[in-house]
């Protein structure tokens, strides 16, 4: 085996494999180079997304859950994914490729703790979702405006404080009143939450961490796609 590789000479399977490895190791520039190489060979953007980047992030997610990877490593992988997406996203839209899903996420009114939801955003993006992170301290009106603007399938509500948790129910009640609750999958997250709380306030699911948030969002997208 030589000590050098020329990615232009790699068979396509090996190129994807390399893309996944470089994503795993958080090498943004290399991932970008490999995405460009795959596109130059005439591969469909959707193929590059699913067989290269998303497949790579699946491994990252799995190793994170198994305790092999640490949070900073997952972040690096997700940000490499993001750099590949800067090239892929416009092409995906152009080619009318199927979407992995669209999500809006934000912390509820009174809550400024957004580190957790920022991780979820990164991980969702890593899984190929289009994510709009509307930041902290969001009122019902803020959520409504974001839903109007981005038409997401998934709405993520985040809270760290027990005192702001009830506002999640206020948001869901407002969705019901506006008659748009049924077309959204509402996922809630935050340290003091539980499955029981999610059920009680009428959310679709509680996600205990960023890895679970990815799995749950994918699962609901699959259900939606099968129903469609």
Partner 1 sequence: MVRERRHSRRGRPSPTRQVEAITQPLHQIPVYELLDASALDKIHQVSMEILSEVGILFMDDPESLAILREHGVRVEGELAFFTPTQIEHYVTMAPSEFTQLARNPARSLVIGGKHMCFAPVYGPPFVADRERGRRLGTLQDFRDFVKLAYLSPYIHHSGGVIVEPTDLPTPTRHLDMLYSHIKYSDKPFMGSVMSAGNAADSVKMVEIMFGSEAIRQQPALISLINISSPRRLDDRMLSALKVYARARQAVIITPFILSGAMGPAAIAGTLAQQNAEALAGIAFAQMIEPGTPVVYGSFQTNVDLQSGSPVFGSPESQLALYVSAQLARRYHLPFRSGGMFASAKIPDVQAGYESIMTMLPAVLARVNFVLHAAGWLDGGLTAGFEKFVLDCEVLGAFHTLLRGIDMSENGFAMESIRSVPPGGHHLGTPHTLRNFRTAFYRSELFDYQPSEAWEADGAHDAYERAHERLQQLLASYEAPPLDPALDTELQAFVSRRKAEISG
**Least distance from partner 1 to the Cβ atom of residue 75, Å:** 4
Alpha-carbon distance 119 to 11, whole Å? Answer: 34
Q: How far is the CB of 209 from partner 1 (least distance, A)?
A: 6
Residue closer to partner 1, measured from CB, 176 or 194: 194
> Is the Cβ–Cβ distance between 97 and 48 less than 8 Å?
no
- Considering the complex, what minimum distance in angstroms separates the CB of residue 21 from partner 1? 4
CA distances from 98 to 33, 34, 44, 162 (A): 24, 22, 12, 39
Question: Residue 99: CB partners within 8 Å, gap ≥ 6?
Answer: 92, 130
- Give me the least distance between CB of 124 and partner 1, in Å please: 16
Output 80 or 132, the one with its CB closest to partner 1: 80
Q: Please give the residue ranges that form the binding site for partner 1 (CB under 8 A).
A: 1-8, 20-22, 24-26, 30, 33, 37, 59, 63, 67-68, 70-73, 75-76, 79, 112, 114-115, 118-119, 136, 194-195, 208-209
Comparison of 117 and 185: residue with beta carbon closer to partner 1: 117
Nearer to partner 1, 73 or 173 (CB): 73
DSSP category for residue 162: T
Measure the CA–CA gap between 56 and 65, rounded to whole angstroms. Answer: 15
Instruction: Name the residue nearer to partner 1 (CB basis): 112 or 178.
Output: 112
By CB atoms closer than 10 A (0-12, 13-18, 19+), residue 173 is: middle
CB of 203 to partner 1, least distance (A): 15
């Amino acid at each position: 085996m030589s000590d050098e590789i020329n990615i232009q000479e790699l068979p396509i399977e090996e190129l994807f494999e390399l893309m996944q490895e470089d994503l795993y190791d958080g090498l943004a520039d290399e991932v970008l180079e490999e995405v460009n190489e795959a596109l130059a060979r005439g591969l469909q953007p959707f193929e590059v997304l699913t067989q290269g980047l998303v497949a790579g992030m699946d491994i990252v997610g799995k190793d994170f859950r198994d305790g092999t990877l640490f949070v900073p490593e997952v972040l690096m992988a997700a940000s490499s994914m993001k750099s590949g997406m800067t090239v892929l996203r416009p092409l995906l839209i152009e080619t009318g490729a199927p979407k992995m899903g669209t999500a809006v996420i934000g912390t509820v009114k009174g809550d400024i703790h957004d580190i957790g939801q920022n991780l979820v955003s990164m991980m969702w993006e890593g899984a190929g979702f289009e994510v709009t992170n509307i930041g902290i301290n969001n009122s019902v009106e803020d959520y409504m405006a974001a839903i109007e603007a981005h038409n997401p399938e998934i709405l993520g509500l985040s809270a760290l404080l027990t005192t702001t948790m009830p506002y999640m129910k206020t948001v869901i009640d407002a969705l019901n009143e506006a008659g748009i609750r049924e077309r959204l999958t509402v996922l809630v997250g935050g340290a003091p939450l539980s499955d029981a709380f999610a059920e009680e306030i009428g959310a679709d699911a509680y996600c205990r961490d960023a890895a679970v948030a990815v799995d749950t969002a994918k699962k609901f997208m699959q259900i939606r796609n099968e129903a469609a």
